[in-house]
């Protein structure tokens, strides 16, 4: 009996140690985001600009909701593998009304538009945030949900263009552009088409990929993004993607705005 008690006590200690190790491993995976005090110790002016301008003004500006600002910011951080602040912004996004299922879809969507490695770099931080907040698998999107219907008219135009311009160069790229992107990714119901467009445009600007920006901004506005929201998106992006990337995108955005006014 004493031997059994000793064995159970040892097992309990082992389980407790494993649990503590798991918690320690989780904490060690989360990059430490610098506090304002950390900033003041290195760059007092950066701390001031963060507190006064970025948090005190930009995040509170009208024209774009806090939820949308979180989506824009996550798109930048994921597309540029800026993981130090990403746990903070996953939490902020959830506080601002972005659902766990939507964060899951954001990561999957950006894998296609910014590369698999950029998306997977955010996974462990997101996993830990979900665990800390008690978010479980039943709150995440299904692998194969019922997809939204295809817009046959626009898809016919897109297919003809891609077949003509890309087909002679890479049939495989044409195949997956249809099957993986426009017949699956863009039709998944876990993230609204407007929000998919918002994060796509944000990621394109953040990574300096302006060649497809006009098409995707027009698609975003067709999906419900207003000109005022698109304009304010640029303001948010300037702080998280940098002024040069945003200024490079401005002529394309201006052209889209002007074109839509004429039509």
The two structure tokens encoding residue 257: 């705005």
Give me the mean pLDDT over the 25-41 stretch.
77
Confidence at 5, pLDDT banded by 50, 70, 90: low
Whether this prediction's pTM lies above 0.95 is answered by: no
* Interval 169-215: pLDDT, tens: 999 999 999 999 999 999 999 999 999 999 999 999 999 999 999 99
Percentage, residues of the chain above pLDDT 90: 87
- The answer to whether residues 111 and 196 touch, using CB atoms and an 8 Å cutoff, is no
What is the pLDDT at residue 221? 98
List Cα–Cα distances, 219 to 15, 71, 225, in angstroms. 53, 17, 9
Contact 126, 90 (CB under 8 A): yes
Spatial CB neighbours of 111, under 8 Å, sequence gap ≥ 6: 118, 119, 120
Provide the token pair at 247: 């200024």
- Over the chain, what is the mean pLDDT? 92
For the chain, what is the radius of gyration of the CA atoms?
Answer: 22
- Residue 160 pLDDT > 80: yes
User: Which residues 6+ apart lie within 8 Å of 197 measured at CB?
Assistant: 216, 219, 220, 223, 225
201 sits in which H/E element: helix 193-206
pLDDT in tens, 108-147: 999 999 999 999 999 999 999 999 999 999 999 999 999 9
Tell me what pLDDT residue 260 has.
Answer: 97
Closest listed residue to residue 137, CA positions, set 167, 101, 108, 189: 101
DSSP at 146: P
Q: What's the pLDDT band for 23 if we cut at 50, 70, 90?
A: low
């Amino acid at each position: 009996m004493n031997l059994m008690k000793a064995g159970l006590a040892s097992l309990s200690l082992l389980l407790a140690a494993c649990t503590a190790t798991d918690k320690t491993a989780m904490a060690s995976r989360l990059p430490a985001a610098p506090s304002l005090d950390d900033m003041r110790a290195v760059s007092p002016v950066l701390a001031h600009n963060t507190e006064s301008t970025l948090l005190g003004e930009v995040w509170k500006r009208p024209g774009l909701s806090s939820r949308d600002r979180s989506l824009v910011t996550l798109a930048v951080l994921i597309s540029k593998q800026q993981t130090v602040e990403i746990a903070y912004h996953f939490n902020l996004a959830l506080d601002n009304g972005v659902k766990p299922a939507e964060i899951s879809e954001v990561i999957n969507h950006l894998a296609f538009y910014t590369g698999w490695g950029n998306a997977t770099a955010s996974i462990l931080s997101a996993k830990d945030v979900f665990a800390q907040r008690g978010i479980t698998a039943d709150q995440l999107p299904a692998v194969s949900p019922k997809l939204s219907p295809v817009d046959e008219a626009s898809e016919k135009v897109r297919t003809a263009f891609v077949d003509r311009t890309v087909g002679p160069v890479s049939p495989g790229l044409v195949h997956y552009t249809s099957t993986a992107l426009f017949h699956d990714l863009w039709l998944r119901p876990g993230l609204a088409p407007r929000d998919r467009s918002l994060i796509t445009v944000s990621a394109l600007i953040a990574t300096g990929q302006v060649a497809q920006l006009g098409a995707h901004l027009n698609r975003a506005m067709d999906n419900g993004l207003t000109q005022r929201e698109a304009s304010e998106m640029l303001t948010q992006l300037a702080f998280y993607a940098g002024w040069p990337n945003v200024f490079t995108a401005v002529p394309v955005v201006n052209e889209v705005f002007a074109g839509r006014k004429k039509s």
